[in-house]
Amino acid sequence: MQNWDEHRWEAFISEAERRSRETRRYLDTHLGELAADWEELFDRDPEDSLNDYVELSLLNDVAYFPDDDDDWDEDDEEDEGVFLSDACGWLGSLDDWNVFREARELAIWACSAVPQGHNLRRDPRYHAVVEGTFVMVAKLNIAFGFSVDTDYLGGHLVFCRRSLDGANRALAALQQLRDEPGFDVFPYAVFHARLFETRNDIAEHIQNARERGATPR
C-alpha cells in the first residue's frame, strides 16, 4: 500500500466500502434495522453522539489502514480514544488542523441546533444535514491517520474527498429545508455560510495536498 497513488487507493477503498455495505445489509436482514435512532441521538450530548459516530466509522474503515508490519509499527497503535489526535506527520497534530476543528464544531452545532420536541427533529432532510456533517468529521479523522507519512498521501486524499462528499450532502439537504415552515429555529444563514466555507477549505486542502505530493488523481 505504501506509495500507492490516489487512483489505486480509490479503487481499494471503494471495494472495501462495497463489502461493508453488503455486511450491513446482511445484519439488517438477520438482526433487524440498524439505522440511527435520531430522537435518541438528538437527546444525547451532541459531542457524545459525534464521538460514537466517528468511532463506528473507524471500526468500519479499519481494514483500509496498512497492515504490513514493516510499514506500520504496532507500538504506534495505542488506544488514544476516538480521534487520532497524537498522530504526527506533515499536518502536525489533529488539533492543529483548522479544517478539522471547524468541521467538528459544525457537526456538534448541527446536532444541537433544533430544540427538543420540534417537528424538524423528525425530518429526514434535517437528519441528512446532521449525518453529512458527521461524515465530514469522521472521514477527516481517518484521513489524518494517513498524514503520518507522505507515502500514504493517496489514502489521505481519498478520505478527504469522502469528507468533501459529506459536506456537499449536508449543504444540499440544508438548502432543501431553507423555506420549510418552522425552519426559522435553525440558524440557516450563519450555519450555511460556515459550512460552505468549510467545504471550500476541504477542497482547497485536497488540491494543496495533491500539489505537495504530485499525486495523480
The domain segmentation of the chain, as residue ranges, is 6-70+82-213
> What's the confidence (pLDDT) of residue 214?
47
3-state secondary structure the chain: CCCCCHHHHHHHHHHHHHHHHHHHHHHHHHHCCCCCCHHHHHHCCHHHHHHHHHHHHHHHHHHHCCCCCCCCCHHHCCCCCCCCCCCCECCECHHHCHHHHHHHHHHHHHHHCCCCCCHHHHCHHHHHHHHHHHHHHHHHHHHHHHHHCHHHHHHHHHHHHHHHHHHHHHHHHHHHHCCCCCHHHCCHHHHHHHHHHHHHHHHHHHHHHHHHHCCCC
> What's the confidence (pLDDT) of residue 137?
96
> What's the confidence (pLDDT) of residue 6?
84
Q: Is the pTM of this model over 0.85?
A: no
140-178 residue pLDDT tens: 998 988 776 667 788 889 999 999 999 999 999 999 998
> What's the confidence (pLDDT) of residue 29?
54
* pLDDT tens, N- to C-terminus, the chain (217 residues): 656 778 888 887 887 777 666 655 544 554 444 445 677 788 889 999 899 888 878 777 755 455 554 444 444 444 444 455 444 466 778 888 999 999 999 999 999 998 888 888 889 999 999 999 999 999 999 898 877 666 778 888 999 999 999 999 999 999 999 888 778 888 899 999 999 999 999 999 999 988 876 444 3
